Amino acid sequence: MQGALEPLKDVRNVIAVGSGKGGVGKSTTAVNLALALAAEGGRVGVLDADVYGPSQPRMLGVTGERVGSHDGQTMEPIEAHGVQTVSMGFLVDEERPMIWRGPMVTQAVTQLIFQTNWDDLDYLIVDLPPGTGDTQLTLTQKVPLAGAIIITTPQDIALLDARKGLKMFEKVNVPVLGVIENMSLHVCSHCGHEEPIFGTGGGERLADESGVPLLGQLPLDIDIRCDADGGNPTVVAKPDSAAAQAYRRAARKAAALLAMRRVDRKSVFPRVVVENA
């Protein structure tokens, strides 16, 4: 399904960040991974593919900005914290509900993907909405993905959905780079007591049974939530914190896996040279 797709112009690796279930911290993880890859020296973009509930404008601290266009056809991404980003949130009012059926969503996602003038990206992180529906299908049918990262919280009911998300990528031959477990443990800011509010060990279980690496585990930490909601994700707000280090380790692992798998699609085709005889 993926094999015959044309690579995106000016983008070397498209990485989908998905979960199946909503509210597991997918957008927070996606933006921190993007900033971590940028901190490693990569040129990075974030495509917010959640048409119904875009979060990236707020998480990148650029709420209210509007994308511009030089030619009336294509969009210029917004720059924030050194990464490039597009989102439905730059096209419509933040509070307006998109009461849309699937075909409208497909059209919007297609435009965000193909009509953005990405500026020479090493990595484009795609923040997917929950589910395994129109947006996921559109992306996997139209864009060659270098890999997918699955986010889950540790409890069984989230794992159920995460497993579905993972199986979807396998079905369409997108390599799953690994699993990130989010909201792993809560550490009381007063007494240090650790409480597994959303269960324990689920991310590891999912990674093991699927034969993919566990890229990282992030705690349920009020700071991570507040940093992202405030437009200064932890990787840039507190670069020396344990959480930022965990994001950077996860990003490095994912990048290393990509580098091992990477096939330059252009090298498959013979170069055509027109010689003047």
Which one of residues 1, 68, 114, 197 is an interface residue with a second copy (CB under 8 A)?
197
Q: Residue 94 — φ and ψ, nearest 5°?
A: -60, -30
Nearer to a second copy, 21 or 248 (CB): 21
Counting contacts by CB under 8 A, is residue 1 touching a second copy? no
Which one of residues 69, 173, 222, 262 is an interface residue with a second copy (CB under 8 A)?
222
DSSP string, 85-152: EEEGGGTS-TT------HHHHHHHHHHHHHSB---SEEEEEEEPPSSSSHHHHHHHHHS--SEEEEEE
Counting contacts by CB under 8 A, is residue 272 touching a second copy? no
Angle ∠(124,129,130) on CA atoms, nearest 5: 135
Counting contacts by CB under 8 A, is residue 131 touching a second copy? yes
CB of 21 to a second copy, least distance (A): 6
Nearer to a second copy, 105 or 255 (CB): 105
Nearer to a second copy, 39 or 151 (CB): 151
For the sheet containing 176-181, what is the strand order? 78-80, 83-87, 44-48, 121-127, 11-18, 147-152, 176-181, 214-217
CB of 271 to a second copy, least distance (A): 37
Binding site for a second copy (CB under 8 A): 20-24, 27, 52-53, 55, 58-59, 94-103, 105-106, 129-134, 136-137, 153, 155-158, 160-161, 163-165, 167-168, 171, 186, 188-191, 193, 195-199, 220, 222, 225, 228-229
